[in-house]
Chain A
Amino acid sequence: MADITSNFLGIKSPNPFWLASAPPTDKKINVLRAFEAGWGGVVWKTLGSQVKNVSSRYSAVDYHGSRVMGFNNIELISDRPLDINLKEIVEVLKLFPDRAMVVSLMADNDRKSWHDIIAKVEDTGAHGLELNFGCPHGMTERGMGAAVGQDPEIARMVVEWVMEKATIPVITKLTPNVHSVVPTGKAAVEAGTSALSLINTIQSVTGINLDTLVPNPYVAGKSVFGGYCGPAVKPIALKFLTTIAQDATTSKVPVSGIGGISTWKDAVEFMLLGASNVQVCTAAMKHGFRIVEDMCEGLNNWMDEKGFKTLDDFIGKSVNKIVHWEDLDINYHHIAQIDQTKCIHCGLCYIACEDTSHQSINLDFGKPYNTYTIKDEECVGCNLCELVCPVENCITMVEHRVAPEYVNWIDYQKLGLPLNDH
């Protein structure tokens, strides 16, 4: 059995799966249920000046019969009194001393407010702080949340205030509602943050009710931009994570990965791109806390199969595999191959290639089943047919190098090699 215990800035947890700061970590009862289910830690829902929430609060994007491919919320930070939250944090810590307890904070935008709230939270015995520089709605209008994360200099200033006071590890959470997360990440690291976490939610409109013409979620005939999350945002989160993992400054601190993680596989992907642990929210909101069971078991089995004994054995292993386009090997070429014994004649590869790609699939009409074959000389190796094929391993991409040696785009130009070779 692999060892899946996690040590994030000295904050230990039995597994790398934390619940992100969000409604599931708003109250003692939720957090106790999460810990009973096996979660390694939580980031308690953001504390700050008490707010008022509206009804309704969530909306979602369904896709092809699957519910909640993407999820959107317009909740603000915790709307419960600060002292109740603090009291409950103490109680939970007492009941589950082996789990990570990090508290998310978003104080009013002045030094004193930050110092005051840090002092109160540290009194609970919490293990760490997470600075919410990412909330994309409601708080931004008050100069908080994403308004901080979107301006590296404001972020630097706030992190500096925090670091003056904090005695426990500080994680700065970044907003994806920027062109690049690196400038703010850099500013936070330079200001002394112990770690980064990303991504927070992405501003969005999930859809419109076609009867009332009011976008979702509905609040008395109106709506508002919400924060988008769930499986749909995972690829965006992975991209932002990679830029942090590859930057000389931001890569110096550990990163907690967030964004659409629903399974152990998603978690492994985040960790391969440099996340030391991961935070989950939407998947738990859709299925309940029990999903952590398979996350732990799946991670364990995968690590055993791959021979990884601890999380550190694989964290960051894919970071250097994402390069600049100019560094890609132009002599690499592969072409599709259809296994006729597996083909079910659905024609999806054909119509995708014929209509939208390179007309590289041959069709022989049959009744009722057509036969599809690849025109090797036409195939550019784009993968589209393989991606749309409903049968696993029916279409495979077979390597046919143009030449044995590695040639990147820069060299290619220098060598004066032909552009019209296809």
Chain B
Amino acid sequence: MPIENNRLTSDQYQENFSDIHPPFETKEAALTEANRCLFCYDAPCMKSCPTSINVPKFIKQITTDNVKGSAHTIFESNILGAGCSRVCPVEKLCEGACVYNLMDETPIHIAKLQRYSTEMALEKKWPLFIRKPSNGKKVAIVGAGPAGLSCAHVLSREGIDVTVYEKESKGGGLMTYGIAAYKVTPAFCEEEVNYILSIGGIEIKYNHELGKNITLEELQKNYDAVYLGFGVGVARQLNIPGEELEGVVDAISFIYDVRTKGYENVPVGDKVAVIGMGMTAIDAATQARRLGAKEVTLVYRRTQEEMPCTEAELDIAMLDECKIIWLAAPKEVIGGGGKVVKLVCSVMKLGEPDASGRRSPVETDETLTLDVDMVIKAAGQIPFTELVNKNSIENANGKIKINNTATNIKGVFAGGDCVNGGREVVDAVQAGKDGAFEILKYFEEL
């Protein structure tokens, strides 16, 4: 059972990785949907958006032929509004709160409408924001992901000169490197980053990694404030025997490869097990299938009740014919000739609720064994514990502790995944805004 690349024809790859939620094809289609919106007051959708996008307003603006105004309304609250319209788990956010749900009607396709307005703005390169004249203040941001870019844009609008240090060679963070390609393509991410930068006053220094070729001290010395938005790092280890075998990979690197190497160059097994049931696990499992794996099994130690991914995500996996084994925790990877051949799992049962309020899985005496040739680990990511400790940044298990976005170090702020351990893109965007507002306040009080 080999792990190999180039399993499909280029047409098949194209089809498998095409846009999963295609945009409105015509203006009329968008208008029909936009006109369905009730234009709620103090709208539940808006209140359910972490960045508080004024959803009724932007939809109303589509109906009045003011798409430019619509895009401005979105970007004003969320400069990554285009990307979020593709990757947000809207079924548990804005669309989940749409009042039409209470009438047992299909909620407004808010994400699709948001995509309509924002993509037109990107495509036509509308200059919707004008940067105030430079006020001489300089801020360094570490990480050109959603938090860093969102922070940078707010600061630049206020006339601050921003330099973003990014360890990769492209901006966008997990948007660019960590999300299924059928949701956002790397090309789209690049377009979005360029649009954000088009306001001016933001310079990204690529291939600069904190702790490697730049230090926090340097940044503190050369800038008036620093914002840390470097996200989380490698995938959590399973800490089970056999984890070092050839064929055990982590989901983040797997998705990174899918997004950077070209589909035909990413090897995948015949029978793949994916450990975990978060968004990343789903993205890894579905993309393994879409690369040509014959059988993909998601293994999760709890039940559907407790799974972190949304029902909609689970549906994608099931439609891709991924199998799901609930209440199973990996116990050992068995190899043959140095390669993965089996995954042994403990059968679990649910015990008492844990700190997260979810019932925690408890091991039973039973096990089950899967014949697999590839194991993808997607059981969460680990914060950059060493990096934050080395820089004496107060943290909890590597997650930076903040007080209103300020760290324990004066003039150093933080937000996004490096603080919360890994949440949605839209949460990081809000964290970036919060950080920027806090930095602006900090400058006022200086």
Contacts and interface: CB of A to CB of B under 8 A. Distances in A.
Interface of A: 64-65, 344-348, 350-351, 363, 365, 367-370, 390-391
B39 interface: yes
A368 B44 contact: yes
A65 B31 contact: yes
Contact of B103 (A344, A347, A367, A368): A344
Contact of B35 (A64, A363, A368, A370): A64
B307 interface: no
A347 to B, nearest CB: 3
B47 A368 contact: yes
B251 interface: no
Given A344-B99, A344-B102, A390-B38, A369 B44 contact: yes
Q: Counting chain A CB atoms within 10 Å of each CB, which of B32, B43, B44, B103 scores highest?
A: B44
B31 to A, nearest CB: 6
A274 B97 CA distance: 48
A346 B32 contact: no
A146 B31 CA distance: 39
Given A64-B63, A344-B102, 14 more contacts: A64-B35, A65-B32, A344-B99, A345-B40, A345-B102, A346-B38, A346-B41, A346-B43, A346-B99, A347-B42, A348-B39, A363-B42, A367-B47, A368-B44
Contacts of B44: 345, 368-369
A1 to B, nearest CB: 36
Contacts of A369: 44, 97
Nearest to B35: A65
Given A65-B31, A65-B35, A368-B97, A350 B41 contact: yes
Contacts of B99: 344-346
10 contacts: A65-B31, A65-B32, A65-B63, A344-B100, A346-B38, A346-B40, A346-B99, A348-B39, A368-B97, A369-B97
Chain B interface size range: 20 to 34
B41 A351 contact: yes
B48 interface: yes
Contacts of B103: 344, 391
Contact of B38 (A348, A363, A368): A348
Contacts of B42: 347, 363, 365, 370
Interface in B287-335: none
A141 B163 CA distance: 72
Contacts of B45: 368
Nearest to A210: B65
Contacts of A365: 42
Contacts of B31: 65
A363 B42 CA distance: 10
Contacts of B102: 344-345
Interface in B5-51: 31-32, 34-35, 38-45, 47-48
Interface of B, secondary structure class, is helix
Contacts of A390: 38
List of 7 A-B pairs having minimum Cβ-Cβ separation, nearest first: A347-B41, A65-B35, A368-B44, A351-B41, A344-B99, A344-B102, A346-B40
Contacts of B40: 345-348
Contacts, number: 43
A64 B102 CA distance: 23
Nearest to A66: B35
Nearest to B48: A368
Q: Counting chain B CB atoms within 10 Å of each CB, which of A345, A363, A391 scores highest?
A: A345
Nearest to B39: A348
Contacts of A348: 38-41
Interface in B401-421: none
Contacts of B97: 368-369
Contacts of B63: 64-65
A390 B100 CA distance: 10
Nearest to A350: B41
A344 B102 CA distance: 6
Interface in B65-124: 97, 99-100, 102-103
A256 B47 CA distance: 54
Contacts of A64: 35, 63
A150 B39 CA distance: 44
Nearest to B47: A368
A367 B96 CA distance: 13
Contacts of B41: 346-348, 350-351
A361 to B, nearest CB: 11
Q: Counting chain B CB atoms within 10 Å of each CB, which of A65, A345, A368, A369 scores highest?
A: A368
Nearest to B96: A368
Contacts of A370: 42
A365 B97 CA distance: 15
B102 to A, nearest CB: 4
A348 B32 CA distance: 20
B70 to A, nearest CB: 16
Nearest to B93: A368
Contact of A347 (B32, B34, B35, B43): B43
Contacts of B47: 367-368
Contacts of A363: 42
B37 to A, nearest CB: 10
A64 B97 CA distance: 23
Interface in B208-247: none
A367 B52 CA distance: 13
A346 B100 CA distance: 9
Contacts of B48: 368
Nearest to B36: A65
A46 to B, nearest CB: 36
B92 to A, nearest CB: 12
A36 B42 CA distance: 53
B418 to A, nearest CB: 27
Interface string B343-363: 000000000000000000000
A372 to B, nearest CB: 9
A348 B40 CA distance: 6
Nearest to A345: B99
Nearest to A65: B35
